[in-house]
Amino acid sequence: MSATAANFWRRGEHEVSLARLYLMRATALLGIWGLFATMQALFVHDPLDRGVHKALIGGLWLMAVLAFRYPLKMVPILLFEMTWKLVWLLAFGLPQYWSGAGSPRLGEDLWSIGVFPFVCAIVIPWGYVWRHYLRAPGERWR
């Protein structure tokens, strides 16, 4: 293995390896592509539609665009995505699936929502999260 290839996988003096940054960017591209249909619904919709869900997804789409350029700065967005989807999976998705009383869209929701926490768990640079969010001192109060 060449030195260049080894540096691709190792962190070295950087916070996160280049391979991890590319993986995070690929995940951002997946989000940009996967949420694009919802972005179109922001511009063509019923005028009386409350739009809360569509607006939230639209905001996440814009954050995915930023995450493509600045993956480390968008780690909190990945943590948020993983958290809310894991809460949904454990509190709503799996109990409905196990009871057999789920909605007709449950299978689609289990795939589109329930798989992403596992993707996030793979993509998130946990060492970076540990150093910057858990071990680092908190912001000053006064």
Dihedral sign of CA atoms 33, 38, 43, 45 in order: positive
Residue 98 C-beta-side C-alpha neighbours within 13 Å: 7
Which residues are within 8 A (CB) of 41 and not within 5 positions of it... i.e. 6 or more apart? 54
Mean pLDDT computed over 100-107: 85
Q: How confident is the model at residue 7 (pLDDT cuts 50, 70, 90)?
A: low
Contact 67, 28 (CB under 8 A): yes
| pLDDT > 70 in the chain, percent | 90
Q: How confident is the model at residue 82 (pLDDT cuts 50, 70, 90)?
A: very high
- Least confident span in 41-45, 75-79, 86-90, 112-116: 41-45
Mean pLDDT computed over 85-91: 94
Which residues are within 8 A (CB) of 75 and not within 5 positions of it... i.e. 6 or more apart? 124, 125, 128, 129, 132, 133
Phi, psi of 40 (to 5 degrees): -65, -35
Q: Give me the chain's average pLDDT, please.
A: 87
- Report domain extents, the chain: 3-134
Question: Over 90: is that where the pLDDT of 78 sits?
Answer: yes
Of 39 and 21, the one with more pLDDT: 21
The predicted pLDDT at position 13 comes to 56
Cα angle, residue 5 at apex, residues 130 and 79 outer, rounded to 5°: 25
Contact 114, 82 (CB under 8 A): no
Of 51 and 96, the one with more pLDDT: 96
The predicted pLDDT at position 43 comes to 79
Please report, for residues 110, 128, 133, the alpha-carbon distance to residue 136 in angstroms, rounded to integers and kept in the order given: 35, 11, 6
